[in-house]
């Protein structure tokens, strides 16, 4: 099959969260199964400053945005046999960050228009166009509007972001006729929603776990009414759990950690990495036998960070430690700074983004906290399990589908998961984890080995996507 991906991020060129890992891991896995994959990405300032220095210039053209013609270059780089095309446009992508600008909808409308033009100029003729989240959801409609024949899949990685703009701008952003709005295809809460337009125009929709797919379909009101829209497409809705790329995340082959290890040698390996964390953050090395918790996350209310904050006094009183790596909401960041001053022997934080530090924390920690309010899939807990850091998670979305809870199945447990709505469940699980840690329990050792042996590799998960693509092509 010839598959075109369009996405707003992909490792190693750009990443803010799981989406970047998934686009990279899935495209590599598809190529290994001998499919042709072309990935379209924006050429961000960070991409330019970072790893991309050996690209090839392939094309240059203008895109009409209303009565303005905006130029862009198309650059190409081939990595692991995946062909990446970058849309370079200073006006839209040469900025310090990736998202969060007032004109994001215009930026990604431009991106989709540029990708359409490139696909047509390069005569790519894809069998499948696979788009991801609101930023690229509208591309299949644009291609179909230009007369191209293909099958399409939209994967929703986070339904919270729906890409809204004023319908007045439809012609100038997307070069689409007004009837796409007045017919209701693009209209959502009286605005254009790029995500809704995608949902209503693709052949199939997927999200990144079965439980989250069911959650979306079972609540009409959720996410501004997205549940209702998705219900109209429930027979074309699928849930496929993400994999992780073990070439990027494996404790037995990881240049970011101080000692590599596997499930047989995890005790020495994790201890050496824990020591490195203590040294880096200034914890007392005489306290290496304390349980070390970590959280690595965007700091938003989705991730339940306030649940973690609430437990800092409990961690302190029970002799545990927590290192938190994240960035996001400025109120949450300030609260964390305050707690850090109050509990210097318990809490250390790194407010920012660091791939390197994240690996060390996965490797050196004993427990990984992810008490999300909702979680389409979540990669943090999957990576943590592979590094033998036991996840403590709420039982929602992909967290439910990936962690085997100690409360449900002691022999095969890979972590602790509590009912997502039970406020006490998280606090109780932290207490239990500390108790089991100090008890040097055999059960804990068994859980760590179970977790490390779980297989969430893309080489396994990719087959579900291939089956879905084939199913679409057979329609």
Which positions lie near ligand ADP, rule CB under 6 A? 17-19, 21, 296-298, 325-327, 353-355, 358, 377-380, 383
Q: What is the CA radius of gyration of the chain?
A: 23
Q: Measured on CA atoms in the order 327, 332, 333, 338, is the torsion positive or negative?
A: negative
Helix-helix angle 442-453:423-438, to 10 degrees: 110
Question: For tokens 């849930």, what's the residue?
Answer: 239
Query: Which residue, 17 or 319, is less far from ligand ADP as judged by CB?
Result: 17
Helices and strands per DSSP (H, E), number in the chain: 21, 18
**Shortest Å distance, C-beta 59 to ligand ADP:** 31
**Shortest Å distance, C-beta 276 to ligand ADP:** 17
Question: For tokens 């191209």, what's the residue?
Answer: 148
Query: Which residue, 42 or 378, is less far from ligand ADP as judged by CB?
Result: 378
Report whether 215 contacts 159 (CB < 8 A): no
Q: Token pair for residue 427?
A: 């606090």
Report whether 242 contacts 208 (CB < 8 A): yes
Query: Which residue, 126 or 239, is less far from ligand ADP as judged by CB?
Result: 239
**Shortest Å distance, C-beta 336 to ligand ADP:** 12
Sheet strand arrangement including 187-188: 164-165, 191-193, 187-188
Query: Which residue, 83 or 354, is less far from ligand ADP as judged by CB?
Result: 354
**Shortest Å distance, C-beta 249 to ligand ADP:** 8
Pairing of strands 292-299, 367-370: parallel
Query: Which residue, 18 or 126, is less far from ligand ADP as judged by CB?
Result: 18
**Shortest Å distance, C-beta 181 to ligand ADP:** 30
Is residue 71 helix, strand or coil? strand
**Shortest Å distance, C-beta 206 to ligand ADP:** 15
Helix %, strand %, coil % for the chain, to 5?
45, 20, 35
**Shortest Å distance, C-beta 399 to ligand ADP:** 9
Query: Which residue, 193 or 248, is less far from ligand ADP as judged by CB?
Result: 248
Is residue 235 helix, strand or coil? helix
**Shortest Å distance, C-beta 119 to ligand ADP:** 27
**Shortest Å distance, C-beta 378 to ligand ADP:** 4
Question: For tokens 């400053």, what's the residue?
Answer: 49
Query: Which residue, 323 or 430, is less far from ligand ADP as judged by CB?
Result: 323
Question: For tokens 């203008």, what's the residue?
Answer: 62
Helix (H) or strand (E) holding 155: strand 151-156
Query: Which residue, 117 or 359, is less far from ligand ADP as judged by CB?
Result: 359
**Nearest-CA neighbor of 173 among 63, 265, 51, 16?**
63
Query: Which residue, 113 or 381, is less far from ligand ADP as judged by CB?
Result: 381
Distances, alpha carbon 80 to alpha carbons 3, 5, 247, 455, in Å: 15, 15, 12, 22
């Amino acid at each position: 099959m010839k598959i075109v991906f369009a996405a707003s991020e992909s490792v190693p060129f750009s990443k803010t969260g799981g989406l970047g890992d998934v686009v990279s891991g899935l495209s590599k896995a598809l190529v290994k199964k001998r499919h042709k994959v072309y990935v379209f990405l924006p050429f961000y300032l960070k991409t330019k400053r970072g790893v991309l220095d050996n690209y090839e210039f392939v094309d240059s053209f203008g895109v009409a945005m209303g009565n303005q013609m905006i130029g862009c270059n198309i650059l190409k780089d081939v990595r692991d046999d995946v062909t990446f095309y970058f849309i370079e446009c200073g006006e839209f992508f040469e900025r310090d960050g990736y998202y969060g600008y007032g004109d994001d909808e215009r930026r990604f409308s431009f991106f989709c228009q540029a990708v359409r033009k490139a696909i047509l100029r390069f005569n790519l003729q894809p069998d499948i166009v696979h788009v991801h989240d609101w930023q690229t959801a509208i591309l299949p409609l644009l291609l179909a509007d230009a007369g191209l024949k293909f099958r399409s899949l939209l994967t929703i990685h986070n339904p919270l972001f729906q890409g809204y703009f004023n319908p007045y701008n439809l012609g100038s952003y997307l070069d689409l006729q007004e009837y796409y709005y007045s017919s209701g295809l693009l209209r959502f809460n009286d605005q254009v929603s790029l995500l809704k337009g995608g949902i209503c125009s693709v052949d199939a929709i997927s999200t990144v776990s079965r439980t989250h797919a069911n959650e979306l379909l079972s609540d009409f009101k959720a996410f501004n009414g997205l549940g209702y829209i998705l219900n109209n497409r429930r027979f074309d809705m699928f849930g496929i759990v993400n994999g992780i790329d073990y070439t990027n995340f494996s404790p037995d082959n990881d240049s970011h950690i101080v000692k590599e290890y596997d499930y047989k040698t995890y005790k020495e390996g994790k201890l050496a990495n824990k020591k490195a964390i203590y040294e880096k953050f200034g914890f007392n090395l005489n306290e290496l036998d304390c349980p070390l918790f970590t959280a690595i996350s965007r700091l938003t209310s989705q991730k339940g960070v306030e649940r973690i904050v609430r437990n800092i006094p409990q961690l302190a009183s029970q002799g545990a430690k927590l290192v938190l790596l994240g960035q996001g909401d400025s109120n949450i960041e300030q609260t964390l700074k305050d707690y850090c001053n109050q509990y210097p022997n318990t809490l250390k934080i790194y407010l920012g983004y660091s791939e390197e530090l994240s690996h060390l924390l996965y490797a050196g920690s004993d427990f990984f906290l992810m008490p999300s309010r909702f979680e389409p899939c979540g990669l943090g807990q999957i990576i943590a399990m592979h590094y033998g850091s036991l996840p403590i998670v709420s039982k929602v979305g992909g967290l439910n589908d990936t962690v085997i809870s100690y409360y449900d199945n002691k022999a095969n447990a890979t972590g602790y998961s509590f009912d997502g709505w039970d406020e006490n469940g998280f606090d109780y699980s932290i207490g239990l984890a500390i108790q089991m840690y100090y008890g040097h329990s055999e059960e804990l050792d068994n859980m760590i080995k179970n977790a490390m042996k779980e297989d969430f590799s893309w080489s396994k998960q990719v087959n579900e996507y291939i089956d879905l693509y084939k199913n679409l092509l057979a329609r």
